[in-house]
């Protein structure tokens, strides 16, 4: 009876996803992530056969700050098109630009994230370490040449696939610096999980930002890849500074003066003298060449950290690729982020998000730009079927009904929690690696195939199904 009741949709329920074929295009599989924002489901694009993830973001206008964060993220992911940054494939179209409350964003499907990879694999090779760091820095170079600072880099915000591919995600806290602004920008809000937060930001909620804050975070993440453990798991700001100085030693008076928070400055100034610990002693199993670069990434003084481009030129990456060929991005126009500089109402934000949605519907965008205000569409609607699938999954612990084949996979998107699952052989080339009888750790390890589980050095050629770009990089790794 409950299943039948779900078929009874009110006119208000039918106001979303009315572009012809939009919802029918995707076959929903299962819930793969849940959080305060809403739900993420895996799906198949029936037009291309591609596996995707559809993120339902609910009640986006309930709080203006959340709506602005969503607007910022979808805008940046449209503007930052790069192989190492997660891609939005499509955003579903609302029938009314004035009344919608939820949005459905179609992402490329990634199998896991770097946090899960680190947990499940204690035998990553030097080749893995190098390739992972190179991809992260390559994405950072692209972002920073666009004057975009991520500000919340951590392993959970770096997605991973079984072919060793990484992609940075979750740009909700990112900011854009503009050419007419100072090189060090002040922004006021929470930035970065404490463990990955640069020391100059410790205890500060209104700080000067430079690209060096992201470089520090990447250094912390790289150590976690090397050792399997967070480098600076501080329980408080003071504890965080203690852990940092235990490794790096006490900073100079000049460096301390650059710490924004007064209490943090006083604490560092009054700290007993500590000598830096040799990195080779702290990380005895690491490639010595990697430690030379790591020292630069984790310089206490942000002025001593390299840019992403300088880091890519480090001898550690010799033979991996030509750093000078890695793409840069044109600076982003100030007009794209005018909403950050003025007071905006919820209706202003709604209109701006609607405008972003139209970027994925070119003909309607053309009509919109031409001044056609009749944006209540009359195409056949598939919203009832589409929403029913989401609702059914939410009410049945993420498990699909009889009309939805139980194709499952461990995956990751910006989210609070993730579930583990499997995919049958017909849709997954590495299906033999997936077994629903595995325990949690074995399952996570299986998802990151033998390429990531430590056997890269034994592989003479990349798998034939691997994308050409990844083949190129792995072939370099195997030389």
Q: What are phi and psi of 422, to 5 degrees?
A: -130, 165
Q: Are 26 and 48 in contact (CB under 8 A)?
A: no
Known binding residue 273? Answer is: no
Cα-Cα-Cα-Cα dihedral sign, residues 23, 26, 27, 28? negative
Could you tell me which of 211, 214, 194, 222 has the C-alpha nearest to residue 279? 222
Q: Which of 180, 182, 232 is nearest to 208 (CA)?
A: 182
DSSP 349-412: HHHHHHHHHHTTSHHHHHHHHTT-------SPP-HHHHHHHHHHHHHTTT---TTS--------
Please list, in sequence order, all residues whose beta carbon lies within 8 angstroms of the beta carbon of residue 83, skipping any fewer than 6 positions away: 167, 469
Given the residues 152, 170, 214, 314, select the one marked as catalytic: 152
166-168 sheet: strands from edge to edge? 112-113, 158-160, 166-168
User: Residue 50 carries which DSSP code?
Assistant: -
Which residues are within 8 A (CB) of 429 and not within 5 positions of it... i.e. 6 or more apart? 463, 465
Q: How far is residue 121's CA from residue 35's CA, in Å, rounded to a whole number? A: 26
Q: Quick check: is 13 catalytic?
A: no
CA distances in angstroms from 75 to 62, 176, 318, 355, 364, listed in the order given: 20, 11, 35, 10, 18
The answer to whether 57 touches 302, Cβ cutoff 8 Å, is no
The answer to whether 293 and 278 have CB atoms below 8 angstroms apart is no
Angle at 35 between CA 230 and CA 45, to 5 degrees: 105
CA neighbours closer than 13 Å in the CB half-sphere of residue 114: 30
Q: Where are the alpha helices (H) located in 80-205, listed in sequence order? A: 114-120, 126-145
Distance in angstroms (rounded) separating the CA atoms of residues 172 and 71: 8
Vertex 472, ends 469 and 477: CA angle to 5°? 130
Per-residue CA distances from 60 to 57, 66, 134, 258, 359 (Å)? 7, 7, 35, 38, 19
Angle between helices 468-478 and 126-145 (to 10 degrees): 130
What are the catalytic residues? 152
Could you list the residues known to form a binding site, using ranges: 56
Could you list the residues known to form a binding site for ATP, using ranges: 56
């Amino acid at each position: 009876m409950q299943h039948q009741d779900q078929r009874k949709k009110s006119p208000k329920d039918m106001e979303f996803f009315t572009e012809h074929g939009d919802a029918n295009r995707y076959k929903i599989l299962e819930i793969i992530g849940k959080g305060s924002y809403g739900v993420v489901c895996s799906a198949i694009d029936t037009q291309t056969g591609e596996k995707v993830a559809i993120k339902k973001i609910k009640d986006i206008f309930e709080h203006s700050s959340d709506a602005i964060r969503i607007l910022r993220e979808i805008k940046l992911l449209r503007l930052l098109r790069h192989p190492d940054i997660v891609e939005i494939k499509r955003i579903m179209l609302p029938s009314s630009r004035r009344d919608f409350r939820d949005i459905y964003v179609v992402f490329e499907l990634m199998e896991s994230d770097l946090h899960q990879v680190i947990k499940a694999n204690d035998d990553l090779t030097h080749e893995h370490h190098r390739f992972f760091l190179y991809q992260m820095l390559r994405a950072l170079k692209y972002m920073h040449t666009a004057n975009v600072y991520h500000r919340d880099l951590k392993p959970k915000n770096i997605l991973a696939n079984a072919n060793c591919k990484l992609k940075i995600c979750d740009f909700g806290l990112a900011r854009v610096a503009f050419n007419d602004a100072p090189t060090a920008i002040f922004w006021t809000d929470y930035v970065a999980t404490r463990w990955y937060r640069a020391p100059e930001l410790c205890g500060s909620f209104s700080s000067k930002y430079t690209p060096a804050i992201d470089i520090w975070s990447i250094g912390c993440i790289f150590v976690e890849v090397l050792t399997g453990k967070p480098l600076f798991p501080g329980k408080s700001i003071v504890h965080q500074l203690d852990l940092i100085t235990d490794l790096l030693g006490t900073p100079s008076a000049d460096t301390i003066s650059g710490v924004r928070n007064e209490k943090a400055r006083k604490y560092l100034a009054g700290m007993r003298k500590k000598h830096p610990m040799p990195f080779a002693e702290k990380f005895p199993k690491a490639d010595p060449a990697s430690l030379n670069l790591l020292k630069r990434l984790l310089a206490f003084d942000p002025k001593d950290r390299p840019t992403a481009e300088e880091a890519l030129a480090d001898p550690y990456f010799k033979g991996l690729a030509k750093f000078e060929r890695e793409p840069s991005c044109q600076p982003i126009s100030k007009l794209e982020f005018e909403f950050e500089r003025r007071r905006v109402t919820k209706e202003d934000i709604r209109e701006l998000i609607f405008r972003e949605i139209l970027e994925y519907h070119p003909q309607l965008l053309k009509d919109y730009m031409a001044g056609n205000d009749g944006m209540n569409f009359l195409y056949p609607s598939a919203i009832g079927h589409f929403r029913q699938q989401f609702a059914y999954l939410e009410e049945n612990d993420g498990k699909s009904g009889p009309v939805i084949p139980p194709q499952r996979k461990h995956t990751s998107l910006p989210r609070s929690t993730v579930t583990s699952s499997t995919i049958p052989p017909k849709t997954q080339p590495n299906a033999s690696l997936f077994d629903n009888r595995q325990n949690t750790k074995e399952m996570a390890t299986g998802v990151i195939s033998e390429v990531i589980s430590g056997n890269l050095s034994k592989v003479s050629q990349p798998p034939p199904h691997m994308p050409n770009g990844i083949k190129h990089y792995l072939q370099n790794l195997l030389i």
